Chains A and B, each alone.
Chain A
Amino acid sequence: MAIGLAGSRFGRAQEDPVRDHSRVPSISELKTTFEFEAVAWAKLPRAAYDYMAYGADGEVTLRRNRDVFDEVDLIPRGIQMAEAPKTELKLFGAAMAYPVLVSPTAGHSQFFAEGELATHRGATAAGATMIVSNNSTYPFDKVAAAAKGPVWVQLYPKPQLDANRAYLESAQAAGAQAVVVTIDQQASSYERALHDRNLSYSNPAMRRPPARPGSTNPYRISASRLWYEWKLFDEIRPFVKVPMLAKGILTAEDAKLALDHGVDGIYVSNHGGRSLDYDPSTLEVLPEIVDAVNGRAPVLFDSGIRRGSDVLKALALGASAVCCGRAPLWGLSAYGTAGVQRVLEILQTEFVDAMRSAGCPSLEAINRKIVAAQYS
Chain B
Amino acid sequence: MPVPRLIGEPPGRIAPVAELINTLEFEEMAKRSLPAAVFAGIADSGPSGPDRDAFDRIAFRPRLMVNTTALDLTTNLFGREMFAPIIIAPVPQQNRLHAEGELAMARGAAAARAVMIAPADSTIPIGKIAAESKADIWIEVNAAGNPDAAREKTLGAGARPIFLSPGAWDWTAIDQFRKGLDAPLVLRGTFSAETAKAAADRGIAVAVSSRAMEVLPAMSEAVAGKVPLLAQGSFRRGAHVLMALALGANAVLIGRPAAWGLAAYGPDGVQRVIEVLQTELARDMAMCGRPNMASIDRSIVRVRQRRAV
Q: Do A and B bind each other?
A: yes
If over half of B's interface residues share one DSSP class (helix, strand or loop), that class is named, otherwise mixed; here it is loop
Residue pair A254, B64 in contact (C-beta under 8 Å) = yes
Per-position 1/0 for B71-104, Cβ under 8 A of A? 1010000000001100000000000000000000
Q: Which residues of B contact A212 (CB under 8 A)?
A: 279
Do B69 and A232 have beta carbons less than 8 Å apart?
no
B287 adjacent to A227 (CB under 8 Å): no
* Chain B positions 274-295 with a Cβ under 8 Å from a chain A Cβ: 275, 278-284, 286-288
Interchain CB contact under 8 A, B283 and A229: no
Report yes or no: A57 in contact with B64, Cβ–Cβ below 8 A.
Answer: no
Interface members, chain B 47-62 (any A CB < 8 Å)? 55-56, 58-62
Tell which of A75-83, A244-252, A303-311 binds the partner. A244-252
Given contacts A219-B279, A228-B67, A278-B239, contact A375 B306 (CB under 8 A): yes
Please tell me if A186 contacts chain B, counting CB pairs below 8 Å.
yes
0/1 interface trace, chain A 208-248, chain B, CB 8 Å (1 if under): 11001000111111010011111010000000000000001
B residues in contact with A57, CB < 8 Å: 22, 237, 239, 280
A27 CB-CB contact with B under 8 Å:
no
Asked whether, in the complex, the Cβ of B283 is within 8 Å of the Cβ of A201, the reply is no
Contact A226 B19 (CB under 8 A): no
A221 and B60 contacting across the interface, CB-CB below 8 Å? no
Binds B, one of A97-105, A166-174, A187-195: A187-195
Within 8 A of A (CB), among B93-127: none
* CB <8 Å contact, B8 and A199: yes
Minimum distance in angstroms from A71 CB to a CB of chain B: 8
Bound Cα distance A254, B300 (Å): 12
Known: A219-B278, A251-B63, A375-B307. A278 touches B287 (CB 8 A): no
* B10 close to A (CB within 8 Å): yes
Q: Knowing A58-B237, A183-B64, A183-B65 touch, does A284 contact B59 (C-beta < 8 A)?
A: yes
- B176 cross-chain contacts in A, Cβ below 8 A: none
How near does chain A come to B29, taking the closest CB pair, in angstroms? 13
CB contact list, A34-67 vs B, under 8 A: 57-58, 60, 64
Contacts of A254 in B (CB 8 A): 63-65
Q: Which of A194, A212, A257 gathers the greatest number of chain B CB atoms within 10 Å?
A: A194
How close is B243's CB to chain A, nearest CB, in angstroms? 7
Interface size on B, residues (CB 8 A): 53
Q: Choose one: B16, B58, B65; the contact of A228 (CB below 8 Å).
A: B65
**Are B282 and A198 in contact (CB-based, < 8 A)?**
no
Of chain B, the residue at the smallest CB distance from A276 is: B287
Residue of B nearest to A223 (CB): B69
Given contacts A200-B7, A226-B67, A376-B307, contact A221 B286 (CB under 8 A): yes
CB of B36 closer than 8 Å to a CB of A: no
Task: Check A219 against B288 for contact (C-beta < 8 Å).
Answer: no
Q: A57-B237, A278-B55 known; A229 and B307 CB under 8 Å?
A: no
Kindly state the separation between the CA atoms of A202 and B65 in the bound complex, as whole angstroms. Answer: 42
Q: Are A198 and B8 in contact (CB under 8 A)?
A: yes
Smallest CB gap from B113: residue in A: A218
Interface residue B21 (Cβ < 8 Å from any Cβ of A): yes
Inter-chain contact B61/A284, CB cutoff 8 Å: no
Of the residues B24, B83, B287, contact of A186 by C-beta under 8 Å: B287
Q: How far is the CB of B252 from chain A (nearest CB, A)?
A: 16
Q: Verify B19–A207 contact, CB threshold 8 A.
A: yes
Given contacts A226-B68, A254-B63, contact A280 B20 (CB under 8 A): no
For residue A275, CB closer than 8 A to chain B, the reply is: yes
Partner of A209, one of B9, B19, B302: B19
Complex Cα gap A226–B283 (Å): 10
Contacts of B15 in A (CB 8 A): 197, 207
The smallest beta-carbon distance between B292 and chain A, in angstroms, is 12
Known A58-B237, A208-B19, A217-B71: A251·B61 in contact at CB below 8 Å: yes
Residues of B near A198 (CB, < 8 A) are 7-9
B13 and A276 contact, CB distance less than 8 A: no
Q: Which residues of B contact A249 (CB under 8 A)?
A: 64
| CB neighbours of A374 from chain B (8 A) | 306-307, 309
B23-62: which have CB < 8 Å to A? 24-25, 55-56, 58-62
Does B172 touch A at the CB level, under 8 Å? no
User: With the chains together, A57 CA to B25 CA distance in Å?
Assistant: 12
Chain B's closest residue to A230 (CB) is: B65
Q: Does A277 contact B (CB under 8 A)?
A: yes
- Chain A, Cβ-Cβ closest to B283: A187
User: Which residue in chain A gives the minimum CB-CB distance to B55?
Assistant: A278
Contacts of A229 in B (CB 8 A): 65-67
Task: Confirm or deny: A116 has a beta carbon within 8 angstroms of a beta carbon on chain B.
Answer: no
Query: How distant is A342 from chain B, measured CB to nearest CB, in Å?
Result: 32
**CB distance A221 to B279 under 8 Å?**
yes
With known contacts A208-B18, A278-B58, A278-B59, A219–B73 Cβ distance under 8 A: yes
User: B83's closest neighbor in chain A, by CB?
Assistant: A218
Q: Which residues of B contact A (CB under 8 A)?
A: 6-10, 13, 15-16, 18-22, 24-25, 55-56, 58-69, 71, 73, 83-84, 237, 239, 243, 275, 278-284, 286-288, 302, 304-307, 309
Which 10 A-B pairs give the minimum distances between C-beta atoms?
Answer: A219-B282, A280-B59, A276-B287, A187-B283, A230-B65, A226-B68, A226-B69, A209-B21, A278-B239, A221-B283
20 residue pairs from A and B, CB less than 8 Å apart: A64-B59, A187-B286, A191-B22, A194-B22, A209-B21, A219-B282, A220-B279, A221-B283, A226-B69, A227-B69, A229-B67, A251-B63, A275-B62, A276-B288, A278-B58, A278-B60, A280-B304, A284-B59, A284-B304, A376-B305
Extra pairs beyond A186-B68, A374-B307 (18, CB < 8 Å) = A57-B280, A58-B237, A184-B64, A185-B287, A191-B21, A197-B19, A202-B6, A208-B18, A219-B84, A219-B281, A220-B278, A232-B65, A251-B62, A257-B65, A276-B284, A278-B60, A280-B302, A376-B304
Q: Interface on A for B, CB 8 Å cutoff?
A: 57-58, 60, 64, 71, 183-189, 191, 193-194, 197-202, 207-209, 212, 216-221, 223, 226-230, 232, 248-251, 253-254, 257, 275-281, 284, 373-376
